[in-house]
Structure 1
Amino acid sequence: MASMLPFGRASRTTAERPVTGLPADVTGLPADDDVLLDAPDDRLGPALVAAGQGAYEPAAELLAATRRHAQWEHRDTYTLHLAAFARSRPEWLQSWYATAPQDPDALLIRAQLAVDHAWRSPARAETLRGVSPMITAAARADDRDPVPWRIALDHARGSRAGHTYFGELWEAALRRAPRHYGCHVAALHYLASSWHGSHRECLDFADRAAQDTPADSLVQALPTRAVLAYLNDGCGPGVPRERLDAAADRAIALSARFPATDVWPAAVRNKLTYVLVRLGRWEDALEQLRLIGPYATSFPWSRLSDDPLGRFLEMRDEVRVRAAQGAGRGHPPGGRARRVHCDDH
């Protein structure tokens, strides 16, 4: 059933990429063949395997556990992965909903799946408006759950909702989970799309949010998300280098709180590594690669290539060489890549 899972191993050989002369054991990095893309954790993996076989019960048990224990960050991540899986293999979700149409977890995945589908429609704003009842049903199914409100925030951005309505949704989300990372990312994306080019304002929002949360909160990584958008945008006034470095340093401190080669913080570490590479902080980037271990994520590397895993491995080679050469801190490259799309999460 491995082919059904939404992650894979590296398939490139060293002959297809530049030879660095630095074997993996010198830099503490796993071999290319051991690197996985978008690997699930030990809780999500079995649910995906079962879904691939048409069984929804493990996914239902997993999401029910996140509700019981108020594990909202895990719930959000699992919802995104399960909805992504259901885009190509919907049978298990259809069976689940047919069996338990009022189940808060089934309603949640259906709402996420509907938003994902509408987001890819050429008539995005119009299509998204028809999804609202699904999001409302998911929100009413468990009033404690902030994840439907994160979906609602994404929905509002895609349907070009006004600031007043978005603000009401934001306040409702904060009442349920004031430190929920997914809701903060959704708000940051809304501000970025509304204030196109005003990266300082977006970074101000991210900095304030990080300052108001504990040192181990994922919101500590929010300023790095704002920096990533800035580095990939070709508009707006410049942001002082010290602010970019401060955001990266905050995320480095957060990364250090998680175990090395742990799949859970891999998404944060991959985005941080991208920012460090763009800032020319090669030794810091190498350290994050050691912490990432075998867990590459599609975003942000999919923004640079249709082969995100191959791009990740190429970037590792470059970081190895630059760090071995003792390259110091550089400057953000002048030619910025294309703008980061607002549906990244």
Structure 2
Amino acid sequence: MVGTMALLQALIRTARMVTHTPRLAAGLPPDEEVYLDLPDDRLTPALAAAGLGDHRPAAAALAASREAAAWETRDRQVQRLAAFARNRPEWFDAWQYAAPHDPDVALIRAELAVRRGWESPARAELLHDVTPLIAAAARAEPADPVPWRIALDHARGTGAPHTEFEARWEQAVRRSSYHYGCHVAALQYLSAAWFGSHRESFAFAERAAEDALPGSLVRGLPVRAAFGALHAGPDAPGRGGPVLRERLDAAADTAIGLSAEYPAGDPWPAEVRNVLFYVLIRLERWGEALEQARLIGTRATSFPWDRISDDPLGQFLQARDGVRIEVAATLPLRGTRRREGPGDH
């Protein structure tokens, strides 16, 4: 009898999935319209010009963000331009030749050197050698927190002690109290995967999120801490013990509130939404996960999917399909159909 009931339940679940999964694609862009790490519309022309060897639009974009003290935008621009220069260096070489003392050149040079160091088997040694480049970028624009975000990434890569990390963190927050990139870099250093613990990373993330203004991406830090805990697995040794489900749910709830403050498809919270999507899946909060997939739209991001798969875009699309199936399995087979909502776990 037990076997018969289990078989019947499995058949009903299958029927629900077949019935409802296709219509749950409503609001989701087709797979072929989803891209990984779509650049902000303001940076797209600069990247296109750089691809043709022209550095001037990139120089203008970075100069504008520096003059406006738009540090969050500037950090994103620097990371995208450095990643592009990693594989297509000609335009950046021309820029360095034309303006060797440009503070924006100094900043990309430091970011690029740290990226190269991280990718090398001799990481610690190479990163130690780029310390002068980071210092030069910091001197070139003393008000800019972005060199200090790079310095925090550098501290993690070189295994700097906590005292040195804290000194760099102090310099970062002195320039911008709630700079998201600096907070992410600090959270990574304090994570169980590096030089802290789940306890430390959650405490840091929760405190920062509580202090941040509504709409600040810093309010998404706890869900990044949740990703770290979930990705490490329940049996990760020696890092503060398991994280309570209540804490994970609270992190997701805070990130859902942040996501709701931005329109669907907005590039600004795209990475936070992708991390939240992963966390909601791991917490089996299927309806809310599907809603975040709709809000993500075409903007999949490398993180967190590149931590799980060598094909991050494929992993995102697979996760999206899986969530649709799970939501479909919870809907009634017949009778009144309801649209799944945020409360459907």
1:64 aligns with 2:68: no
The offset of 1:325, in angstroms, is: 2.1
Whether 2:68 is the aligned partner of 1:76: answer no
Does residue 226 in structure 1 map to residue 230 in structure 2? no
Q: Does 1:176 align with 2:175?
A: yes
Tell me how far apart the structure 2 counterparts of residues 44 and 313 of structure 1 sit (CA, whole Å): 25
Task: Name the Cα RMSD after superposition.
Answer: 1.8
Cα distance change of structure 1 residues 32 and 194 upon mapping to structure 2, 3 Å threshold: closer
Alpha-carbon distance in 1 for matches of 2:200, 2:156: 18
1:313 match: 317
Between the aligned partners of 1:86 and 1:23, the Cα distance in structure 2 is 42
- In 1, the alpha carbon distance for the partners of 2:291 and 2:224 equals 19
The one-letter code matched in structure 2 to 1:210 is A
Identity across the alignment (%): 60
Residue 166 of structure 1 pairs with residue 137 of structure 2: no
Per the alignment, do residues 135 and 241 of structure 1 end up closer, same or farther by CA in structure 2, a change over 3 Å counting? same
Q: For 2:255, which of 241, 251, 254 is the aligned residue?
A: 251
Does the Cα contact within 8 Å between 1:27 and 1:320 map onto a contact in 2? no
Answer with 1 or 2: which has the greater Rg: 2
**Contact map agreement 1:191 1:202 (CA 8 A) in 2:** yes
Distance across 2 between alignment mates of 1:22 and 1:44: 37
TM-score by length of 2: 0.87
Q: Which amino acid aligns with 2:96?
A: Y
The residue aligned with 1:334 is: none
Shift of 1:163: 1.3
Q: Secondary structure of the residue that 2:163 maps to in structure 1?
A: helix
| d(CA) in 1 for partners of 2:242, 2:210 | 23
Does residue 284 of structure 1 match 2:270? no
Matches within 5 A, 1:106-125: 106-125=105-124
Q: Which residue of 2 aligns with 1:271?
A: 275
Deviation at 1:201, TM superposition (A): 2.1
How big is each residue's C-alpha offset from its partner over 1:123-145, in whole Å with a ceiling of 9 and x where there is no partner? 11111011011111111111110
Which blocks of at least 5 consecutive residues in structure 2 are unaligned?
1-16, 332-342
| Paired residues of 1:188 and 1:205 also in contact (CA < 8 A) | yes
Cα 1:195–1:96 change in 2 (3 A) is closer
Quote the offset at 1:78 in angstroms: 1.2
Q: Deviations over 1:218-272 (max 9, x none)?
A: 1000011111000011414111111101011111111111111112221111111
**Cα distance, 1:106 vs. partner?**
1.0
Matched, 1:201 2:200: yes
Q: Which residue of 2 aligns with 1:297?
A: 301
Give the 3 Å change call, closer, same or farther, for CA 92–129 of structure 1 in structure 2: same
Distance 2:260 2:194 in 1: 33
* Structure 2 residue identity aligned to 1:204: A
- Compared CA separation, residues 20 and 65, structure 1 to 2 (3 A): farther
CA contact (8 A) 2:24 2:324 kept: no
- CA separation of 1:257/1:77 partners in 2, compared to 1, >3 Å: closer, same or farther? same
In the TM superposition, what is the alpha-carbon distance from 1:28 to its structure 2 partner?
A: 1.3
CA shift in 2, pair 1:93/1:325, >3 Å: same
Confirm or deny that 1:45 pairs with 2:48: no
CA distance in 2, matches of 1:94, 1:20: 57
2:338 is matched with: none
**Letter aligned with residue 128 of structure 1:** L
Task: Classify the secondary structure of the residue corresponding to 1:33.
Answer: helix
Checking the alignment, whether the CA contact within 8 Å between 1:20 and 1:317 is kept in structure 2 is no
What does the per-residue CA deviation read over 1:179-225, in whole Å, with 9 as the maximum and x for residues that have no partner?
001111111111114545x2122101110111111121110000111
For this pair of structures, how many residues does the alignment match? 312
- Residue-by-residue CA offset, 1:55-99 (whole Å, 9 max, x unaligned): 000111111111111111111111111111111100111110111
Once residues 20 and 129 of structure 1 are traced to their aligned partners in structure 2, the CA distance between those partners, rounded to angstroms, is 58
Give the number of the structure whose residues are more often helix, by fraction: 2
Residues in 1 aligned to 2:299 and 2:311: alpha-carbon distance in whole angstroms: 15
Query: Structure 1, unaligned stretches of length 5 or more?
Result: 1-17, 331-345
CA distance in 2, matches of 1:21, 1:50: 45
